Amino acid sequence: MKFFSDLIKGILIGSGAILPGISSGVFCVIFGIYDKLVENVLGIFKHFKKSISYLAPIAIGGVIGVILFGNILKTLLNLYPTPMKYLFIGLILGSIPVLIQKVNSNRGFRLHYFLFTFLAFSIGILMVFLENYLSSHIIINSIISSYTISLTSILFLITAGFFMSIGIVVPGVSSTVILMCFGIYDIYLSAISTMNLIILIPLGFGVLIGSLIFLKTINYLLNNFYMETFYAIIGFSLGSVLVLYEPLPFNLIGFCSIGILIAGFYIANFFESKE
């Protein structure tokens, strides 16, 4: 049962790498596995058997999420944008109370921790404005061809993947915003749907290098500034709510969205409490 539970978590974490405005890291926070994931990825050579046992179902689910379910969720977002957005809002909000309770259970709370939440939340607000600006003002003019690729293009994709990893590792920082900055978000989606390895391999290589570097950074912060880091993670996660929020219509869709938000809240609360 735990294998399938972790597989489902991995699917949603993987889909977070595709969905606009949603970070894979946020799903890790929602499911209460963020610090464990960091620990096992970085400890894979030191405690190989233990780390592989923990990471395997999440990694398999992540691949499935990117290739298959990410596009399904993207389709659902296009068909039912308001209910789906409120589902994700409910998932995010539902994870926060249990996360705060866990963080404070063994360590004393200090008021200045909220400063880190506020700073991270402010960055989240900035990301909202940046994503809205990029999606409406930037016209993609890429140096990358769908069939041929130069050394310059390979280096460009590796660089884009490196910075994209920030959105995978840091909750609330959207990978899509970073890819929009590089002007290759549409190319990335197209490469995923057609399994264009010419694009995906160098991009993935950059993501791998960046993830290891940023995971080491996060791990250092968790080991030395645990409370401050987690309260910043909470701020980043809350910032994702602003990306997803839209006013509710006063009709059946609006009432259904409220019900879905409440369901999402309790689902996330359940997953968090089980970790």
Nearest residue to 156 (alpha-carbon basis) of 205, 214, 212, 208: 205
Task: Give the pLDDT confidence score for residue 258 in this predicted structure.
Answer: 94
- The alpha carbon dihedral of 274, 119, 243, 24 has a sign of negative
Q: Which two tokens stand for residue 220?
A: 């250092």
Nearest residue to 90 (alpha-carbon basis) of 272, 260, 273: 260
pLDDT mean values, one per 10 residues, the chain (275 residues) = 81 71 70 81 83 88 78 77 86 78 72 87 75 54 54 84 82 69 74 80 91 87 84 80 81 92 83 57
Task: Give the pLDDT confidence score for residue 205 in this predicted structure.
Answer: 93
Q: Which two tokens stand for residue 225?
A: 């500034």
> Cα–Cα–Cα angle for 26, 130, 191, nearest 5°?
65
Task: Give the pLDDT confidence score for residue 175 in this predicted structure.
Answer: 73
Where are the extended beta strands (E) located within the chain? none
Angle between helix axes 70-79 and 2-15 (nearest 10 degrees) is: 60
Q: Which two tokens stand for residue 146?
A: 């769908």
Q: Report residue 18: phi and psi, to 5°.
A: -110, -40
Q: Which two tokens stand for residue 208?
A: 């791998």
Nearest residue to 163 (alpha-carbon basis) of 151, 174, 172: 174
Task: Give the pLDDT confidence score for residue 19 in this predicted structure.
Answer: 64
Q: Which two tokens stand for residue 127?
A: 């990301």
Report the SS3 class of residue 173: coil
Task: Give the pLDDT confidence score for residue 257 in this predicted structure.
Answer: 93
The domain in which residue 191 lies consists of 2-274
The total domain count for the chain is 1
